[in-house]
Amino acid sequence: MISFEAPFSEARGYAAVILSWLGAQTIKVVRGAIQEKKLDFRWFLNSGGMPSSHSAAVASLSTVVGLYYGFGSIPFGITLVYSLIIMFDAAGVRRNVGRQAVILNKIVDEMSKGKQLEEKRLKELLGHTPKEVFAGALFGIVMSLILCH
């Protein structure tokens, strides 16, 4: 292993990633409280919504690794690929699963009219729009730059 002088403490790096996720989730709770005019702390653990906390966390992780090891390093390259996969999944696969849940819920609603069905409604807000992913990534990068630079 090549030795070098660390530009900041590892604890600051961990804090940046955790606070990026926590901050993005908090923004979702506050936005939900304003829009719904009620406070529901379950929103804190839900997926989907603006901004993407998954994107915030992985973008923060990549930024921290880039600042710590260098943006041309192998660890940065690995975390960048990982981050892009997570963000692609959030905006692509998980978003489409949410759209399918909407359609399936409509089918269940239609079938249940006049009949009793045992089926539970599916969660519809699973993924993110590209805008939510971008906002989350930007939030994570900014948090890391503030805390580690």
Task: Please report the pLDDT score of residue 14 as a whole number.
Answer: 94
Task: Please report the pLDDT score of residue 81 as a whole number.
Answer: 95
Alpha-carbon distance of 86 to 91, in angstroms, equals 9
Largest CA distance in the chain: 71
Indicate whether 105 belongs to any domain. Answer: no
Task: Please report the pLDDT score of residue 18 as a whole number.
Answer: 95
Residue with tokens 């990068």: 141
Task: Please report the pLDDT score of residue 134 as a whole number.
Answer: 81
Residue ranges of the chain with per-residue pLDDT less than 70: 1-3, 94-96, 98-99, 111-112, 114-127
Indicate whether 85 belongs to any domain. Answer: yes
Indicate whether 55 belongs to any domain. Answer: yes
Q: How many domains does the chain have?
A: 1
Task: Please report the pLDDT score of residue 77 as a whole number.
Answer: 95
Residue 126: how many CA atoms within 13 Å on its side-chain side? 15
Indicate whether 53 belongs to any domain. Answer: yes
Task: Please report the pLDDT score of residue 1 as a whole number.
Answer: 56
Task: Please report the pLDDT score of residue 51 as a whole number.
Answer: 86
The total number of residues written for the chain in this structure: 149
Enclosing domain of residue 86: 10-92+127-148
Indicate whether 1 belongs to any domain. Answer: no
Task: Please report the pLDDT score of residue 95 as a whole number.
Answer: 66
